[in-house]
Chains A and B, each alone.
Chain A
Amino acid sequence: MNSSLKWINGSTTLSPIKFIAKVDNSLYDLNHFSREDFNKEVLELDSLELALNLSISLYSPISSLELSTIAQIIHDNSLDYNKVDIFSLRDIKSDRNFNTILGINNFPESIRKYLTLKTLPLKSIELITTFSTSLQEFLNGFFISNISTSYQKAKIFIDNMAIHKESLEGVKYVDGFEFDDRKISSHIEIENSLIAINSKVFPILISTDDNFESGKLKFSFYVDKGNSYDKFIDILDKNDKDIRTLIEFLKGYDLGL
């Protein structure tokens, strides 16, 4: 018995009959793959595409991983995916989309496992195919720890990976990982940082005239009889490290310095 059409991922049909397709004198299981303890019925079909359509119609729902296995069968047998209805039903109508689905077979284990549980948008799957081996392993680590995560959260995680892919190259996923998003405004935190530096550099005042809208940090002091220019240069020199730290801190908040 030739069972090269086996695409299913472990589940079975409710049918009490094992259907077998006969195409070009070869026999192919259409359901109950590799199991012989059923009444059998052999159907003569014109093509393997028809055999696949019939086989797929016996099962529901079909996961993305199973779809990928079907794509592999099509690829290995040089079949036409346009004639296998499940692809158009899933909006897979171009070679690019087909190759994206085909690529699932090469994903690490936990990504493939996730795709048996949840359906990700085709574009998310396409993004994964563009990831390097290292990035795919990172995503695999995420799914090992978060196999039940919603498809929306998974999609956002994958999108974020694409955004941060350069910094993630070679990084191993660890539980609780969060993307290094730029910190969202903490107006008070920034105000406090200015208060802290001003307590060190007094009577120099380090401030912003416009809440950093123009990306400028203002240093102000008056030189007079009691406050010589050298005095201010001394203060700035002594606090040089802290001032530079402040500037880097503000840059981290995208304040345009």
Chain B
Amino acid sequence: MIYINKSVIDSKLVKMALSSNIDYKIVDDASEIVDKKSNIYLDDRKDNYIRICPGTKIYRCCSYHNIDIMQGCPFDCSYCILQAYLDHNMIKVSTDIDSIVEHIRSFQGNIRLGSGELSDSLALDNIIPFTKIIVPVVNELDNIQFEFKTKSSNISNLLNLNPKNIIVSFSLNPESIVSKYESKTASVESRINAAVELSKYGYKIGFHFDPVIYVDNYKELYTELIGILTSKISEESIEFISISTFRAPSALLDAIKLRDKYTDLLNSDMIKSPDGKYRYYKSLRVDMLRTVYDSLRLEWKDVFIYFCMEHNTVWESVIGYDPGDRDKFELLFNNSFLA
């Protein structure tokens, strides 16, 4: 159900959402709404919409920026950080489009920006069509590369837009892991098919093997998935691939246990890292990352592959070099699209 704060009923975004003849209810504030994932609340929340991705000096991070237009996600992944990060289950959407666009336009210098941190970028795009707002703005700017990151196959709006400076990225895991831990998301096959369709349309594609999750036969599962992926889409369409294993702050571990105290998501060798997050023990982690990296490299020799929030010693073990601090790391991304 969509709930609209009465103060934003005439906003552009609400009009776009209601053009799809969807049921809605006007409310005075969020307290009138049952706090669950299936409820979407639109209001004029003002915010500092764009933030640099949080990171630490201990683990290597790039200079990616997040734009938090939506807070909350209709999908229900067992490992999702939002369980610990947000204090609500409903999906809160800001209708403050003008400020969002102004923020995007105001950036000086080259920047990579994405909307997939506090929500799935495309899961609700058929209802709340942010792509129709963001893409034309980004098309005009030569210093912005915008990434829509998703576990959906909801790409129909994108197929009517200009792909210039837009990356559409898909999070991938073997289907058995998706079935077990990525509730309500699109199947891996449909995500890959969506990626193929978008690449044919002209979009650059990204893939995120994040989080890579430990199961006994992870080598077989990830190798098989990568075999399927690389047989369906050409390397030339791929802008980048990220890989990172499951990690969680203690608050997320608590949330995971709370939703399923018998979960086997945590039944592996995890240690507390210097940044306070729990990660797989290093030697296991390196083996998992190497499995995915080497399998990808067998087929795709040149595509840029990076690790998200990994220690420089892990980079050196698997890839053979240290990407350096934020600024140096950022230079590794292909910014040739930028002026």
Chain A contact residues, CB within 8 Å of chain B: 121-123, 127, 152, 155-156, 159, 162-163, 181-187, 190, 210-215, 253-256
Contact = CB atoms under 8 A, between A and B. Distances in A.
B92 to A, nearest CB: 36
Contact of B287 (A121, A152, A210, A254): A254
B220 A187 contact: no
Contacts of B223: 155-156, 159
Interface in B271-287: 271-274, 279-287
Nearest to B286: A254
13 contacts: A156-B220, A163-B294, A182-B290, A185-B269, A187-B281, A213-B273, A213-B279, A214-B313, A215-B311, A253-B283, A254-B282, A254-B286, A254-B287
Given A123-B231, A211-B271, A254-B287, 19 more contacts: A123-B230, A155-B223, A155-B224, A156-B220, A162-B298, A182-B287, A183-B283, A184-B287, A185-B282, A186-B283, A187-B269, A187-B271, A210-B274, A211-B273, A211-B282, A213-B58, A213-B282, A215-B313, A253-B283
Contacts of A187: 269, 271, 281
Interface in B86-116: none
A228 B159 CA distance: 75
B62 interface: no
A152 B217 CA distance: 13
Contacts of B231: 121-123
B286 to A, nearest CB: 4
Interface in B2-55: none
A130 B282 CA distance: 34
A211 B313 CA distance: 13
Nearest to A254: B286
B219 interface: yes
Contacts of A184: 283-284, 287
A212 B284 CA distance: 12
CB-CB nearest 6 A-B residue pairs: A256-B313, A185-B284, A215-B313, A254-B286, A253-B283, A185-B281
Nearest to B271: A211
B282 A152 contact: no
A123 B299 contact: yes
B202 interface: no
B4 to A, nearest CB: 47
B56 to A, nearest CB: 11
A255 B316 CA distance: 11
A80 B245 CA distance: 48
A256 to B, nearest CB: 3
B281 A211 contact: yes
Interface in B204-242: 219-220, 223-224, 227, 230-231
Nearest to B274: A210
B270 to A, nearest CB: 10
B312 to A, nearest CB: 8
A214 B58 CA distance: 8
A156 B219 CA distance: 9
